Amino acid sequence: MAIFGTIIFDGPVSTKGYPLNKMCFTFNDQPARDEFVADEKAYCKKFGLSDTQTEAILKRDVITLLEEGGNAYYLAKLVSAILGLDMQDLGALETGLTKDQFKQKLVDANMGLGDYHG
C-alpha cells in the first residue's frame, strides 16, 4: 500500500535517478561538498545529471528531485549536508504539510490514532 502523496521509487525511476544518487553519495566527504558548493552546475555535469535534475538542484526543488529518481536516503546527504534540513523536513515537503504537522501525523499513526493517508 502506498502512502498518500509519496512518489513511488521503482526500477525505471531508480535508473533515471542513478547519476543523481551517485552524486549525492559523494557528499559523505567534505572535499566533495566543497567542490559542489564552489560550482554546483559543474558538479552536476560531472555526474551526468539531466537538465531537469540539475535545474532542480539549483532551485532546491526536492520534490522534483524525488520525481527525477532521487532516493530519499541519498538525497538526505544533499538535504542535510548542503541545505541544512533533516528527513522530517523532507517528509513534510513531500506530503505538503508543515514539519510540525508531519511529525504529529507520524505520532498519531504510531499510536493508532490516524494513518499516513491524506
Q: Please, which pLDDT band fits residue 26 given cuts at 50, 70 and 90?
A: very high
In a domain, 2, yes or no: no
Name the residue type at position 59.
Answer: K
In a domain, 108, yes or no: yes
**How far is 29 from 43, CA to CA, in rounded Å?**
14
Tell me the residue range of the domain where 78 lies. Answer: 11-85
H-state helical runs in the chain: 11-25, 30-38, 40-46, 51-59, 62-67, 72-81, 87-95, 99-110
Amino acid 115: pLDDT: 54
Q: Please check whether residues 51 and 70 belong to one and the same domain.
A: yes
Amino acid 68: pLDDT: 96
In a domain, 100, yes or no: yes
Q: Please check whether residues 16 and 66 belong to one and the same domain.
A: yes
**How far is 72 from 66, CA to CA, in rounded Å?**
7
Q: Please check whether residues 79 and 102 belong to one and the same domain.
A: no
Q: Please check whether residues 71 and 118 belong to one and the same domain.
A: no
Q: Please check whether residues 79 and 30 belong to one and the same domain.
A: yes
Tally of domains in the chain: 2
Query: Over 90: is that where the pLDDT of 42 sits?
Result: yes
In a domain, 25, yes or no: yes
Name the residue type at position 49.
Answer: L
Q: Please check whether residues 107 and 64 belong to one and the same domain.
A: no
Q: Please check whether residues 114 and 72 belong to one and the same domain.
A: no
pTM: 0.74
In a domain, 1, yes or no: no
Q: Report the b/e string of 84-117 with b at 16+ CB within 10 A.
A: ebeeebbbbbbbeeeeeebeebeeeeeeeeeebe
